[in-house]
Structure 1
Amino acid sequence: MPSLQQQVQSVLDDLVGTGAETEAETGLQVAVFHQGAPVVDAVAGVADGRTGRRVTPETPFFSFSAGKVMTSLIAHLLVGTGAVGYDAPVVDVWPEFGAHGKATATLRHVLTHSVGVPAMPRDVGPADLADWTRVCAAIADAEPRWRPGTETGYHSFTFGFLVGELARRATGKPMRQLLHEWVAVPLGLEGDLYFGVPRTDLARLARLEDAVPRPVVPPDGDAVLAPWEQQPTAAMGNDPEILQADIPSVGTFTARGIAAMNAALLDGRLIDPQQIEELTEVAFEGTDQVFGNPVRLGLGYPLGRIGARPDEAPTTFGWIGGGGSYVYADTATGVSFAMTKTRLTPHFDTATRLADLTMAEISR
């Protein structure tokens, strides 16, 4: 029986080698840790289709909302320091946030996307995301769509600024610095995990590509989120200003680095087992008020693996990223899985296929 590394590598080679343009991938990374040890570190394809530069395990990828696993981890580390509590009001450290009836909002509400401010205020666009002060002031002054804690709805970009401003006010440090000091340096992952990529490292990054053909999404005047908040584009993921900005609703990382981070979370090197148990319990279950789908959330993460069988226990927690990336950890098996990719697809078929393969092999 081929090893899991061999099986994953074979799938990746097949995906980048297929002649079907709508099915082919162009550049991929997959990393898997099991019980804290690396068991898969596979890559295939090109990191930059313009130059032919190949993907390596050291190539960072901008992976949209999959970066929220780093944001949620910082929140839990913040709680671990005693600086804030899950049920502490946000206004304890960010008084301005209490405007328009949001004074009851807590970190627990932030982590379960139930604060009630899922969308960026309409006067904030992608070009404003690097202006931390402006974005946070706009969010603080926003009127909630529901009373905090009563409903849930995907906080696409507001999530990272909510966690980040709480962390900044509590510690005096921006999220990019906390990620570096609390996670990357202790784990030896400098150069693997970023909120805001240094200009000197931009040339290392993978270059994203839109899927061909790109799906046409008609405008929806009733949509909660602006199109740029819900439709990932290569233009955004390749924008040097976006890449260098501290925007902790998205992130740039290597599959190896993010999987190593979650492996350290699972085995207690970052937070204690009691806190892991708390963050992976069901904290909110209901209908997402943004997209209308049923959701089951832990503290900071959707629970359950994409593509899982109906009878599979929801022991996994993690985030998908627009365009098809996927990061998850599994408390039952001790698996930490990550997949990054250059081609932004409107589905998660590749992630599901590789996650299923990993689960089947680990469970043998």
Structure 2
Amino acid sequence: MSNLETRPDERTCEAGPDAGGVQVLAHRDVPLGGPRSMDVRRTIPQRVRSLVGAWCFCDHYGPDDVSRSAGMQVPPHPHTGLQTVSWLFEGEILHRDSTGSLETVRPGELNLMTAGRGISHSEESPSGRRAPRLHGVQLWTALPAAHLDDAPSFEHRGSLPTVLALGARVQVFLGSLGLGGRVVTSPATAYSPLVGAQIDLDPGSDVLLDVDPGFEHGLLVDAGEVRLEGEVVPPSSLGYVGTGRTALRVQASNDGPARVVLIGGEPFEEEIVMWWNFVGRTHDDVARARADWTAQLAADGGYVPGADALRFGEVLGYGGPPLPAPRLPDVRLRPRRRV
């Protein structure tokens, strides 16, 4: 998914210190506008915490009624230096990218795109018959410096490992996670030690997740009343806990079921700069990426001839022009200090 903000902040992101207990990160509403006309609830990055492991972006959206509209319509746009992780609770999204991938993702399946030195893609609700509601999360992970120049790639995982125990269902889409003494591992490619999983909780369930003590974790609550390590985490908020734990306690109230998404990983020590859809290490990295994308776009809004051979390639088959990049800030922003 693209960041469709017309004046996106440029951010120099760093991991920040571990919180002593549970740090609750409230979301902010971000109107993405355009033909998609969707609002998302963004928990990271934000001023108090930019990263959870290598996870650097978390948008939570829906449920949105797409039965009487065009649904999601995100025109071709570029990415660098990251992986996009598309994960749905309801609905379906059709993905196209400049490597030639064409894949529909549905609940319980994973679309994982690795930008490396540069890729472009589009996302849209399929035309014709489709699920009436769209609901999910869009996550990004920052690539380590050693992989910033990797060739772009795409993976679709239609079958992912699941464990049922203790009143919970855990489906792991990246990394490994344990429940009830059983550890399951996703086959998807990760470039740093991390974990991502959906956890569905029965009413009144009280579970201990077996986690890596070298990881920090964030728990995004999609639905229900949930406690993390005894602390209430409201819906659409992210509960953060630092390293040093071998287990995480997650509880659902007796009033109904709950659904959460767990993200985590080793603290990402590299400083990154995020702006629009680019992740780099310096202001110059993102400025160069913006210039390269702009050079691919023609004055009439389409692609210049031969764009398929340029840095971000060309997305074929989407029924509209690519997104132009917003204007860069007029000043170079200083790195954020650790909180």
Q: Relative to total residues, which structure has the larger strand share, 1 or 2?
A: 2
The question of a shared fold, defined as TM-score above 0.5 by the shorter chain, is answered with: no
Point out which structure has higher relative CO (alpha carbons under 8 A, 6+ apart): 1
Normalising by structure 2, report the TM-score: 0.28
Higher helix fraction (1 or 2): 1
Question: TM (normalized to structure 1)?
Answer: 0.27
